[in-house]
Amino acid sequence: MSKLIGNQDFNTASHSVYRLTYHVVWCVKLRRHILSAEWRDFLFASLCESAEFVNCQIVEVYGEENHIHFLLDTPPTVVLSELIGKLKSKTAAALLDRFGPFFYGKHERTVWSSGFFVASTGGVTLEVLKHYVENQGRA
């Protein structure tokens, strides 16, 4: 459910009104350039499906050959680091099942590097952030 306060939309739960949007960046293991356009399309669909499964929403997503950016809406009950771990795990499994392993040896079942970047969107409007994510990698 959502609630309009002033000119902004907020989500609602039984005892809270909130809007928690995060800018998240994941890098491919060893920053390898493996995410082709076909793989990114599949990854974006898998990411959106995985987020909905855990009661979150992907607002915008953009990727390059070695990393992805996305905006993530979450309810206040979510532990962000656990959520990101689940999303990384589910998307990695989907990519590996669809396209096979990217690396060899001890990294055969690995897609993402172990870390991530996350920032709350603070006072920036969603439109500004969407524009930023959409235009990543363009000069």
> In order of start, what are the domains of the chain with their CATH numbers?
2-134 (3.30.70.1290)
Q: What is the pLDDT of residue 117?
A: 96
Q: Alpha carbon of 83 to those of 38, 40, 97: distances in Å?
A: 25, 20, 21
**Over the stretch 57-102, which tens digit does the pLDDT of each residue have?**
999 999 999 999 999 999 999 999 999 999 999 999 999 999 888 7
Pull the structure tokens for residue 50.
């995985």
Q: What is the pLDDT of residue 5?
A: 66
In sequence order, which ranges of the chain are alpha helices (DSSP H)? 37-53, 80-99, 126-134
CA distance 25 to 32: 15
Q: What is the pLDDT of residue 124?
A: 66
CA distance 39 to 75: 29
Identify any residues that bridge with 61 across adjacent strands, giving them in sequence order: 70
Q: Residue 135 in 3-state DSSP? A: coil
**Over the stretch 44-65, which tens digit does the pLDDT of each residue have?**
999 999 999 999 999 999 999 9
CA distance 126 to 74: 14
Q: What is the pLDDT of residue 51?
A: 95
Q: Alpha carbon of 29 to those of 34, 64, 67, 82: distances in Å?
A: 10, 14, 9, 19
Q: Residue 37 in 3-state DSSP? A: helix
